[in-house]
């Protein structure tokens, strides 16, 4: 994997505290442990299976930590997707090579490496005193526990998804827009995730999820799936910008630096890449600012290109985003 490195401005850390229990936090602790001791304020959490698409290059980065694709339920790389965004009918599109991995498997694989690493001491999140650590890394995701607040749309968009055994269902990534949100589907070697994203109350189970997606006129997303009787996992999927507290020792990474909209997101990959650079002593602030600007441009393009862009929920999101134009050039976590 080729990573463009920023200029090195500080030596690699010999003491670091990482906050968070997700893949970005765990990877940051593992990379930092190569050059010093690490305090990881985290708690293993039981999470439901969910399939996520990541750039193929992330697999190479994970190999540095000893994590192999088979552990992540990755069967093969994908270079194709079916999309109904600008038009009613789905069309096949080529895409950069990506891996459709199972997210809880990624978390589990990284936790196993953390437990095997003598340089990492795991403590409860409530006991996160950094002691003599030179840096405090906030990798707590959208919670961003060190932040002074969050900038969010007035009506956040909620993703509700159900993950079931894939069987012989087509794992190809599928995405379709509707007047009140959008639906998606993708599969790993053993699992298939179907989801809906939009503002308002999310569907609570697989039956309601199927009805919501088919109500968009996009029933081709659910064909060949057995969703009934499955509870949905729900999470915020729209843009959220943490407003940084005034503490120069705190470095936010991943969603704690910018919780990307799922429409234009490679948050896991970017967060783990940033974790590696940070652990090696590089100043990643400029990289985060640049990444935020690029994400906002990509998101604005996605919202504008949607054939339902003038429907009320889409228009409200577009107008809110346009009002945040200053974000494209502001400092990380700046409130304006």
pLDDT averaged over the chain?
89
Spatial separation of the C-alpha atoms in residues 198 and 176, rounded to whole Å: 12
Place 328 in a pLDDT band, splitting at 50, 70 and 90.
low
Distance CA 300, CA 309 (A): 11
- The string of pLDDT tens digits covering residues 236-273 is 999 999 887 778 889 999 999 999 999 987 899 999 99
73 falls in which pLDDT band (50, 70, 90)?
very high
Q: Which of the two residues, 328 and 51, has the higher pLDDT score?
A: 51
Half-sphere exposure for 94 (CA within 13 Å, toward CB): 1
All domains of the chain in start order, with CATH:
15-48+104-148+239-328 (3.50.50.60)
Q: Report the pLDDT value the prediction gives residue 128, as an integer from 0 to 100.
A: 54
């Amino acid at each position: 994997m080729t990573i463009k490195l920023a200029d090195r401005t500080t030596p690699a850390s010999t003491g670091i505290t990482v906050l968070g229990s997700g893949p970005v936090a765990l990877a940051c602790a593992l990379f930092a442990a190569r050059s010093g001791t690490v305090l990881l304020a985290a708690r293993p959490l039981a999470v439901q299976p969910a399939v996520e698409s990541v750039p193929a290059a992330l697999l190479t980065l994970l190999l540095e930590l000893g994590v192999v694709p088979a552990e992540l339920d990755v069967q093969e790389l994908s270079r194709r997707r079916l999309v109904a965004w600008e038009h009613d009918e789905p069309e096949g599109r080529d895409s950069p090579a990506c891996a459709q991995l199972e997210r809880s498997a990624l978390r589990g694989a990284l936790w196993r490496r953390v437990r095997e690493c003598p340089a990492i001491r795991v403590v409860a999140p409530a006991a996160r005193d950094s002691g003599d650590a030179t840096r405090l890394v906030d990798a707590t995701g959208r919670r961003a526990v060190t932040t002074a607040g969050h900038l969010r749309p007035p009506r956040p968009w909620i993703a509700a998804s159900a993950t079931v055994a894939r069987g012989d269902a087509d794992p190809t990534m599928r995405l379709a827009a509707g007047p009140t949100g959008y639906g998606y589907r993708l599969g790993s070697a053993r699992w298939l995730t179907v989801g809906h994203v939009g503002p308002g109350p999310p569907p609570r189970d697989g039956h309601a999820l199927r009805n919501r997606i088919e109500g968009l006129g996009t029933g081709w997303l659910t064909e060949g799936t057995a969703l009934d009787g499955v509870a949905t996992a729900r999470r915020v999927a729209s843009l959220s910008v943490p407003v940084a507290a005034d503490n120069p020792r705190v470095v936010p990474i991943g969603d704690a630096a910018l919780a990307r909209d799922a429409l234009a997101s490679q948050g896991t990959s970017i967060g783990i890449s940033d974790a590696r650079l940070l652990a090696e002593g590089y100043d990643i602030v400029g990289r985060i600012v640049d990444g935020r600007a690029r994400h906002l441009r990509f998101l604005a393009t996605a919202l504008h290109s949607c054939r339902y862009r003038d429907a009320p929920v889409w228009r409200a999101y577009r107008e809110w985003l346009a009002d945040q134009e200053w974000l494209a050039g502001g400092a990380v976590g700046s409130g304006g």
